[in-house]
Amino acid sequence: QVQVVESGGGLVQEGGSLRLSCAASGRTVESYPMGWFRQAPGKERDFVAAISQNGRSTYYADSVKGRFTISRDNAKNTVYLQLNRLKPEDTAVYYCAADPDGNYRYPEDWNYWGQGTQVTVSS
């Protein structure tokens, strides 16, 4: 069974940085396309970023483009999300996802999810 484990959330001041990490493992595959979503209280789960299996293609929501960077280390089957110049509106639970079946921007198309890690940005 595929497992997704994430870490790195915390409390940071506006303008600060955090790095989130997520590892996926399974019995049938070593590497997946992977992505990050976030969900604020009372809001829907929204797409943040995604990366192809080989790491050569990346995709970002407009709200984070230029501030966040997704990357991966396939030897470790680990994906990272570097969050820079954080804003209070970035406050949310951040979820790592693996193995999309369809459109990577839709959470319902991803098969495996981490437990979520809280990112809180103070003003």
Q: Is 49 in contact with 68 (CB distance < 8 Å)?
A: yes
Q: What is the pLDDT of residue 10?
A: 98
Answer for the pair 38, 93: CB distance below 8 angstroms, yes or no: yes
In this prediction, the residues of the chain whose per-residue pLDDT falls under 50 are none
**Rounded Cα–Cα distance for residues 72 and 23 (Å):** 10
In this prediction, residue 32 carries a pLDDT of 87
Q: How far apart are CA 114 and CA 34, in angstroms?
A: 11
Whole-number Cα distances in Å, 81 to 18, 42, 70: 8, 23, 5
What confidence score (pLDDT) does residue 16 get?
A: 98
Residue with tokens 């070593």, as numbered in its chain: 30
Six-digit token string for 46: 């929204």
For residue 117, list its beta bridge partners. 94
